[in-house]
Amino acid sequence: MTDQELTRRHFFERCGVGVGKTALATMLAGDALAKQPHFPAKAKSVIYLFMAGGPSQFEMWTPKPQLQKLHGQAVPDSFLEGKRFAFMDTFTKEKPKLLATKREFKQYGQTGSWGSNLVPHTAAIADDLTFLHTVSTENFNHAPAKCFANTGFTRFGRPSMGAWVTYGLGTESKDLPGFVVLQSGPRGPRGGAPLWGSGFLPTTEQGVLFRGSGDPILNLSTPKGVTPRMQNQVIDAIRDVNAMRHETTADPEISTRIAAYEMAYRMQTSGPELIDFQKESKETLAMYGVEPGKPSFAANCLLARRLVERGVRYIQLWHTDWDHHDDLTKPLEDVCRQIDQPCAALIKDLKALGLLDTTLVIWGGEFGRTPMGEIRDGKTGRNHHIDAYTMWMAGGGTKPGVHFGQTDDFGFNAVEDHISMHDIQATVLNQLGLDHTKLTYQFQGRNFRLTDVSGKVITKILA
Amino acid sequence: MRSTILLLIALSFAAQGQDGSEARAILGQCLGCHNSKTAMSGLSLDSKEGILKGGKHGPAVAAGGSSLLLDVVRHTGDIKMPPGGKLKDAQIAVLEKWVADGMPMAAKAVAAPVHWSFKPPRKAPLPAGTHPVDHFIQAKLKENGLAMSKPADRRTLLRRLRFDLTGLPPTPSEIAAFLADTRPDAYEREVDRLLSSPHYGERWGRHWLDQARYADSNGYSIDAPREIWKFRDWVINAFNDDMPFDQFTLEQFAGDQLPKPTNEQLIATGFHRNTPINFEGGIDFEQYRVDHVVDRVATTGSVYLGLTLGCARCHDHKFDPLPQKEFYQFFSFFNNVDEAVEEKDRADVQKPVLELGTPAEIRKKNVIKAQLKALQVELNAYRKEVEPKQAAWEEKLTEADIKKFKFSVQAALGLHVGRRNDEQAALVFETFANTDEGWRERRATMRAVEKLSPKIVTSLIMKDLPQPRQAYIHQGGDFLRKGENVSAGTPSILPPLGNQGPATRVDLARWLTSKENPLTARVTVNRMWMRYFGRGIVETEDDFGRQGSLPTHPELLDWLAVEFMEKGWSQKAMHRLIVTSAAYRQASAADNRLALEKDPRNLLLSRQNRIRLEGEIIRDAGLVASGLFASKVGGPSVYPPIPSGVMNSGQNAREWVTSTGPDRYRRGMYTFIWRATPHPLMALFDGPDASAACTRRNRSNSPLQALTLLNDESVKEFADALATRALGEKDPLGYAFELTMSRPPSAAERDRLRRFVAGQKEEAGGSDKAAYAGLARVLLNLDEFMTRE
């Protein structure tokens, strides 16, 4: 690379002038679309299935005989000392009591993994999954905890994991964004756009929200009354007149702009093709449980697989309404039914297509739920629990069939193999070939990173 | 790094020929923090005594020979230094030998060098008759064998000036008038005209609002709307009045603490109330109040001092001499605001709030509030009578009945009772309760009473508690781990606060803008410079500390800083000074090969820089070009069209009722700012997310921006209007081009666009209107349209 190219590269990468990866490639001859990782990567793509609201590990993955036995008894003080929970004021009214689960559990597969009757499909493929039972986080409220899980900080405004990943690796897709966000459930996640924002990284790294119906991307369709041919002419004219201005000003930003318009045009074609499930077989649709034309978590899982096939680097699915404070019956059953079969289908599908090895799938919420019950208006659910909860991963170089992390008899705390969200983040980056301590960006005089000042790669779960 | 090298050189000179000089040169890079004055972690390394005494972790070198110092530089323990990266093995070996030799060093400590930005700025002498900006710029260029470019042509210059001072492009008639004005001072007259335009306050006010983290909603989970647009208008007015920057600072930091504050001065304190507010269920309010205070410290640090004060929240600053204790002393200034701290404050979560009505209106509002409260109590009691009948009502509903309800009610009814969220449950209950006559009557009464309440505008303000809170050090940045108590104070590395009696926010504001403060004026003029040239004289405009970059033109920066203070902190005077320089008026084409080789990033300014416009300004330029522009200044935020679906991406799908009439065509800065669901035009074109102070926006260049400008409903509307406007002219193509680019097209451009129009016309079945709408779309998408050259 010549000095001038180096300078230009410095300019683009260090000085906050974001640039489309295509354009960077166009301008820096011989540069690939994708950037080089720090070391050989196991995974090429990530699919993060974010269960917004905090799913209950006790109803899904971790039966606790002691909880069943001591149901209704007050929680021993030693477990509550120094702990902070959401809705603390309710504790002062009445001492919280241990809550047994009403779900039936069974052991599955070679590994004998536990799974409840709420998640039969996912439990059936437990041998392909890596369970993490001792994950902990730093904040017990939804928005800050989501922020922490996604950006490594509880305050909004830092880059999200997807933004860090595309910043570090670029994307392999020529006509789709590197970081795609999909939503399902009755509402958007608490916190909104900053959860997939780019923070101080170039804005081009921010997650692009695809929508479940209509255009997958905002403003993807040409305006009414404009034919494809007319649009074609518009794009061509923009390119030509921009090129003329480039001759006069010699500003490389204009080349970038020309490249950006080329990619925009390609997206107008690739976007509709992406969401068109017609070429998917009936069996595939049935396996996921996709009902054509109906937005759902299932449809988003299938879309995620299609995005991975097209080289998209980081895909995040948000499924909302896991916040079961006062009802672990039908509301929980509904949301489990919505996600269970599609999750299992996604893993099976990726595996059958030979994509699971290079795709890291992550499942989990911003926190889990308490071993004790929370009573609201006579109904019982569980409160937010941040000290130990369950997530799972699959593929992308993780070791299948592992159950990592032990909690105490009530599931309050980790007794061994404590995991923090920063460890999860460090591990995700590691699988992508990125050293979380080296993936930094200088902002306000400090080198910031996704994992702030902590984070350890969870090597024991890696193949 | 560079300062480290300088230090090393300086120290090795000082120590030349003495024993241990090499080791002490290596230690030199530690002295910025570990000197006898600053003594971070209690450790000073500038004397043998200091090393033996050590800091809070014990002696750096113990009498027995064991050495924490060596462990630290070897990275064998928990503490690893220096923070910038491990020393080379050879350097460590030098230190090892030096310790083994008994640490030979001079008895007297070498005074720690003062970082450049902490020294007061001084004006360097200026030859008579030269423009100060050009004097310093030319000197550096000459040193490097370069020269300035030729001046930009007058059209480009006018467009540049208009965008920079008002954020609006010139109209064809304004261009014609400027070109026709052949007086020698035509340009200066234009500068003065623009500086007195009300749009100047909008343009520069918006820059300030980035730093103030202004938004119209609370952020976090709920993201409820808030009313604080009066603060936005206060900023615009302050700029238009050229309120001196010291007064501007005083009113924003401490308007409430001034004697008999006016409403305007109270509104000004909204500056530090623009922090996001969390009020999702189950939070500890105190935790978020602390976050607000931390944010105020960090914002003041980066906006005024160019210091990353926020870095000292959890521990002593790693690079600058800012101990954690001083962070909490600074914190104490902002710690006393009467904000929500506990669950019972939930109903008043945005307090303190100023109600802007006449005394009679406010009295009336309070009376009505009390009446409504009483009515609500009665209604709640009545609810208990009605509620039991709801289940039966729901059961009896037929599908035909359900279809008659609003869609949201239908959706809620479709859900199991336990599955409805609070909003949905309330919706269903209300629908049911309205079938009861008693309920209907009570609600009607309440609505009637409510209507009597005068509509009073409010604004979030600062107001302290009668009894201040005791500030203390938060160990590890955790507010639950109480450390030593502290009282309000400023960093000891900077001049003293000069307070009489307990330090107040008034003292803080006066200290920030005192003539002795070496940072505020420098930081402020540097940011002005950045807006005009695309980059500050100090490129890291928010970090003037040791990790920041050095000024490219230190003498110029100092000259401007001193001038700013001498001109009574007049911002308009500084704008006038900068834009009348030849440096500012140069052409921006990168056509000088020598300059590109020697100075590829144009740090020395041998030309102007092309700068992409901000999202708001791109919208404004489209509005002006299309003739749709509504020029009203200030007022409540507005709702221009937004692509459908945008508002659904947060927890609560907030309503967006698209404005009609002139409000549909207001400047981008008046668009309602929801933190959780920002308008895509702003988010995609690098608008700030308002979560913290944004002192510099990125300038990205992405395919999604292209899609927005190509296909967005607003842009199409601009294009159609622009086409209609152009078609009324003799030369529609040339006119449309001038409306968007402020210049006529070149022959080649005209030729290409003429072919384009013909092609569109053919495709659109011969419609001129469609063809020229196509042309307008092309123009609104050109790089030049969205760039100030």
| Nearest neighbour of A253 by CB, restricted to B677, B701, B711 | B701
How far apart, in whole angstroms, are the C-alpha atoms of residue A293 and residue A278? 11
Per the CB < 8 A criterion, the answer to whether B141 and B606 are in contact is yes
Place of tokens 């001065």: B265
User: B129-143: string of b/e by CB count within 10 Å (b at 16+)?
Assistant: eebbbbbbbbebbee
State the Cα–Cα distance between residues B717 and B723, nearest whole angstrom.
10
- CA torsion angle for B203, B207, B213, B216 (degrees, to 10)? 10
Q: Is the Cβ–Cβ distance between B117 and B522 less than 8 Å? A: yes
Least confident residue range of A28-32, A269-273, B684-688, B768-772: A28-32
Lowest-confidence pick of A451-460, B50-59, B183-192: B50-59
Are A220 and B707 inside 8 Å of each other by CB? Answer: yes
Alpha carbon distance A74, B350 (integer Å): 37
Mean pLDDT of B399-422: 78
Q: What confidence score (pLDDT) does residue B106 get?
A: 63
Chain B CA closest to residue A139 = B283
DSSP one-letter string for B669-706: GGB---SSS--HHHHHTT---SSS--SS------HHHH
Q: Collapsing DSSP states into helix, strand and coil, what is residue A40?
A: coil
Provide the shortest C-alpha distance from residue A205 to chain B (in Å): 10
More confident residue, B308 or B251: B251
Task: Give the pTM.
Answer: 0.83
Strand partners, A114: A107
Residue predicted with more confidence, B360 or B421 = B360
Q: Which residues pair with B459 in a beta bridge?
A: B354
What the block records as the tokens of B153 is 């042509």
**Integer Cα distance of A113 and A107 in angstroms:** 5
Q: Which of A284-298, B73-87, B263-277 has the lowest mean pLDDT?
A: B73-87
Closest by CA position to B565, among listed B607, B532, B601, B519: B519
Site of tokens 């019956």: A329
Q: d(Cα B574, Cα B564) in Å, to the nearest integer?
A: 7
Query: What phi and psi, each to the nearest 5 degrees, are found at residue A384?
Result: -70, 135
Q: Find the range with the poorest average confidence among A213-222, B107-116, B629-638.
A: B107-116
Q: Is residue B19 pLDDT above 80, yes or no?
A: no
Which candidate in B293, B783, B787 is best for mutational testing of the A interface (most A CBs within 10 A)? B783
Sort strands B471-474 and A359-364 into parallel, antiparallel or unpaired: unpaired
Distance CA A163, CA A179 (A): 7
Q: Do A202 and B540 touch (CB under 8 A)?
A: no
Determine the residue of chain A that is closest to B698 in CA distance: A16
Find how far residue A364's CA is from the centre of its chain: 9
Q: Which of A11, A238, A322 is the mutation pick for testing B, counting most B CBs within 10 A?
A: A238
Identify from B704, B722, B746, B788 which residue to disrupt to test chain A contact, counting A C-beta atoms within 10 A and taking the largest count: B704
Across chain B, which distance is largest between two alpha carbons, in Å? 101
- The pLDDT assigned to B111 comes to 63
B99, two tokens: 């310790």
Of A462, A449, A386, A387, nearest in space to A422 by CA: A449
* Sign, Cα dihedral of A112, A116, A119, A121: positive
pLDDT at B722 over 90: yes
Among the partner residues B548, B699, B789, nearest to A445 by beta-carbon distance = B548
What's the pLDDT score for residue A19? 36
Compute the distance between CA of residue A185 and CA of residue A176 in angstroms, rounded to an integer.
24
Average pLDDT for B689-718: 92
Model confidence at A17: pLDDT above 80 = no
Q: What are the contacts of B753-758 at 24+ separation with CB within 8 A?
A: B753/A237, B753/A241, B753/B778, B756/A233, B756/A234, B756/A236, B756/A237, B757/B733
Whose tokens are 């970038």? That residue is A256
Contact between B161 and B789 (Cβ < 8 Å): no
Match 């004289």 to its residue by tokens.
B537
Nearest chain B CA: its distance from A296 CA (Å) = 15
For residue A348, report the phi and psi dihedrals to the nearest 5 degrees: -65, -40
pLDDT at A166 over 60: yes
For the cut 90, the answer to whether the pLDDT of residue B11 exceeds it is: no
- Which residue is associated with the tokens 């509880």? A154
Q: Using an 8 Å Cβ cutoff, are B20 and B41 in contact?
A: no
Compare A247 and B11 and report the one with higher pLDDT: A247
pLDDT-derived band at A145 (thresholds 50, 70, 90) equals very high
Q: How far is CA A30 from CA A33, A171, B8, B585, B600, in A?
A: 9, 16, 40, 38, 21
- Residue B730 scores a pLDDT above 60: yes
pLDDT category, B8, cuts 50, 70, 90? Answer: very low
Q: How many alpha carbons lie under 13 Å from residue A201 in its C-beta half-sphere?
A: 27
Instruction: Count Cβ atoms below 10 Å from residue B95 Cβ, excluding itself.
Output: 22
pLDDT score, position A1? 32
Dist. CA B162–CA B166, nearest whole Å: 5
Find all residues with CB under 8 Å of B133, minimum gap 6, and list them. Answer: B556, B560, B577, B578, B581, B583, B584
User: How many C-beta neighbours within 10 Å does residue A2 have?
Assistant: 7
3-state DSSP assignment of residue B654: coil
Q: How many CA atoms lie within 13 A of A207 on its CB side?
A: 29
pLDDT at B109: 63
CA-to-CA distance for A213 and A182, rounded, in angstroms?
11
Amino acid making up residue B352: P
Question: What are B265-311's pLDDT values in tens digits?
Answer: 999 999 999 999 998 888 899 999 999 999 999 999 999 999 989 88
Residues 6+ apart with CB under 8 A from A435: A38, A39, A429
**Interchain CB distance below 8 Å, B756 and A187:** no
Every domain of chain B and the residues it spans: 2-113, 244-353+463-512, 371-453, 713-788
Per-residue pLDDT, averaged over B518-544, amounts to: 96
Kindly list the residues from chain A whose CB atom is less than 8 angstroms away from the CB atom of residue B276. Answer: 156
The residue assigned the tokens 């971070």 is: B40
Alpha-carbon distances, residue A77 vs A371, B294, B655 (angstroms): 14, 33, 46
Tell me the pLDDT of chain B averaged across its residues.
91
For residue A230, the chain B residues in CB contact (below 8 A) are 760, 763-764, 770, 774
Q: How confident is the model over B756-786, as pLDDT tens digits?
A: 999 999 999 999 999 999 999 999 999 999 9
Q: What token pair was written down for B137? A: 């710029």
What is d(CA A182, CA A184) in angstroms, rounded to the nearest whole number? 7
Q: What is the mean pLDDT of residues B460-466?
A: 97
What is the C-alpha separation between A52 and A324, in angstroms, rounded? 11
A298 exposed, middle or buried (CB, 10 Å; 0-12, 13-18, 19+)?
buried
Residue A76 CB contacts under 8 Å (≥ 6 apart), including other chains:
none
Read off the tokens for B484: 């030593």
Contact at CB, B782 and A245, closer than 8 angstroms: yes
The helix/strand/coil state of A415 is strand
In terms of Cβ atoms closer than 10 Å to its own Cβ (0-12, 13-18, 19+), residue B169 is buried
Minimal C-alpha gap between A352 and chain B (Å): 33
Bridge-based pairing state of the strands A179-184 and A314-319? parallel
Q: Which of A327-331, B502-506, B723-727 is predicted with the least confidence, judged by mean pLDDT?
A: A327-331
Task: Compute the distance between CA of residue B536 and CA of residue A344 in angstroms, rounded to an integer.
Answer: 53
Best A219, A319, A367 residue to mutate vs chain B (most B CBs within 10 Å): A219
What DSSP string runs through B49-72? HHHHH-BTTB-SS-TTS--HHHHH
CA-nearest residue to B283 within chain A is: A86
Split at pLDDT 50, 70, 90, the class of A109 is very high
The kind and range of the H/E element at B33 are: none
Q: Do A187 and B653 touch (CB under 8 A)?
A: yes
Distance from CA of A380 to the nearest CA of B (A): 11
How confident is the model at residue B277, as a pLDDT? 94
From the list A193, A223, A444, the residue facing B683 with the nearest CB is A193
Distance, CA of A271 to CA of A412 (rounded, Å) = 45
Return the pLDDT at A33.
Answer: 55
CB contact under 8 A, A261 and B675: no
The model's confidence at residue B79, banded by pLDDT at 50, 70 and 90, is confident
**The pLDDT of residue A62:** 96
